[in-house]
């Protein structure tokens, strides 16, 4: 069983009881609070002290999970403030692009975060895309509340207070802004994770000229909006993610009925969040394959 001194490279989801992983999923998505997690986890691991250590090892370790540092010489990072369509201030986005390609017009990818706002892991995802030759734009839905607070629990609590309709409109506005950014080629794709996976699906339904959308373990758009999708979809699910996967059969039926171009992969044995390499739910084999498929799709569809 994991100890508090374990590192992300040594921790694996298989080391944890299934019940604890399910409790952590409920905690991350707001179904239970920290106290509820600890109380219920203690039943499975032998006490509150063990449950507290378990929560520590399950929580993100951004420093050790970082792949591309912000000062990597291959990329340039900046921020842009995008007007909110409701006239309520702006949404701030993190922008990462490759350097040394001043004459190139880069394909553009909107990156949609999980339900904690623009945390260091999602910024790292944007930088990874920049290293691969894309102009990556990652908005922060927590902008109106001061931005990502540097603490996952606080971020999750803040996020729960947001107007979901406003978040959706802000991401749509961000995609429109990204399309016209200097240095971009005007071709836009979207990738998102968890909550952001749902945003990627929604953008595909709401933005007619979106070229490609890649939702990682995200909820589908409203089924009645599926026929409006013009983007090519690449959909990733973890095989052990029963909560998210429950919506897939209905979504797939709607995609087939509407004749939407899509490919879907369910990675056997992988958990919800399997692409996030800052936690033990990371599954390197599944993540590497899913990411390679993602980059291949964006290169083919965005030019």
Output DSSP code: residue 16: S
Sign of CA dihedral 11, 13, 19, 24: positive
CATH number of the domain at 88, please.
Answer: 3.40.50.1820
Tell me the two tokens of residue 228: 């409006």
Residue 8 counted as domain residue:
no
Q: What is the mean pLDDT of residues 71-100?
A: 92
Residue 3 counted as domain residue:
no
Q: Kindly state whether residues 237 and 295 are assigned to the same domain.
A: yes
d(CA 231, CA 208): 7
What per-residue confidence (pLDDT) applies to 14? 84
- Please count the structural domains in the chain: 2
User: Which residue segment(s) compose the domain that 40 sits in?
Assistant: 13-59
Task: Give the lowest-confidence range in 5-9, 141-145, 159-163, 226-230.
Answer: 5-9
Q: Enter the pTM of the model.
A: 0.92
Q: Kindly state whether residues 176 and 33 are assigned to the same domain.
A: no
Tell me the two tokens of residue 85: 């369509």
**pLDDT band at 101, cuts 50/70/90?**
low
d(CA 199, CA 232): 15
Residue 64 counted as domain residue:
no
User: How confident is the prediction for the chain on average, in pLDDT?
Assistant: 93
Taking only the tens place, the pLDDT of each residue in 231-289 is 999 999 999 999 999 999 999 999 999 999 999 999 999 999 999 999 999 999 999 99
CB of 295 closer than 8 Å to CB of 265: no
Q: Kindly state whether residues 199 and 274 are assigned to the same domain.
A: yes
What per-residue confidence (pLDDT) applies to 88? 73
Q: Kindly state whether residues 283 and 174 are assigned to the same domain.
A: yes
> Which region, left, alpha or beta, applies to residue 200 given φ > 0 means left and ψ of -120 to 50 means alpha?
alpha
Sign of CA dihedral 64, 67, 71, 72: positive
The most distant pair of C-alpha atoms in the chain lies apart, rounded to whole Å, by: 61
What per-residue confidence (pLDDT) applies to 104? 73
d(CA 276, CA 274): 6
């Amino acid at each position: 069983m994991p100890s508090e001194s374990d590192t992300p490279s040594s921790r694996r989801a298989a080391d944890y009881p299934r019940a604890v992983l399910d409790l952590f999923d409920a905690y991350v998505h707001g179904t239970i609070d920290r106290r509820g997690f600890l109380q219920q986890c203690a039943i499975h691991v032998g006490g509150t002290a063990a449950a507290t250590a378990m929560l520590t090892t399950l929580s993100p370790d951004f420093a050790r999970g970082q792949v591309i540092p912000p000062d990597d010489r291959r990329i340039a990072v900046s921020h842009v403030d995008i007007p909110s369509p409701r006239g309520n201030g702006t949404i701030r986005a993190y922008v990462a692009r490759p350097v040394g390609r001043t004459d190139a017009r880069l394909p553009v990818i909107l990156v949609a975060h999980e339900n904690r706002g623009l945390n260091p892991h999602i910024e790292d995802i944007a930088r990874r895309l920049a290293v691969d030759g894309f102009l990556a734009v990652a908005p922060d839905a927590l902008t109106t509340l001061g931005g990502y607070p540097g603490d996952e629990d606080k971020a999750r609590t803040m996020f729960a207070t947001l107007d979901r309709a406003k978040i959706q409109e802000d991401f749509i506005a961000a995609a429109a802004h990204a399309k016209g950014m200097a240095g971009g080629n005007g071709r836009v794709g979207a990738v998102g994770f968890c909550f952001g996976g749902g945003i990627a699906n929604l953008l595909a339904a709401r933005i007619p000229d979106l070229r490609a959308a890649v939702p990682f373990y995200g909820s589908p758009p409203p089924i009645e909006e599926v026929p409006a999708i013009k983007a090519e979809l690449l959909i990733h699910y973890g095989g052990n993610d029963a909560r998210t996967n429950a919506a897939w059969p209905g979504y797939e039926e709607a995609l087939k009925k509407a004749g939407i171009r899509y490919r879907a992969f369910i990675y056997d044995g992988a958990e919800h969040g399997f692409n996030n390499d800052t936690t033990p739910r990371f599954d390197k084999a599944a993540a590497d394959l899913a990411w390679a498929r993602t980059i291949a799709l964006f290169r083919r569809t965005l030019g």
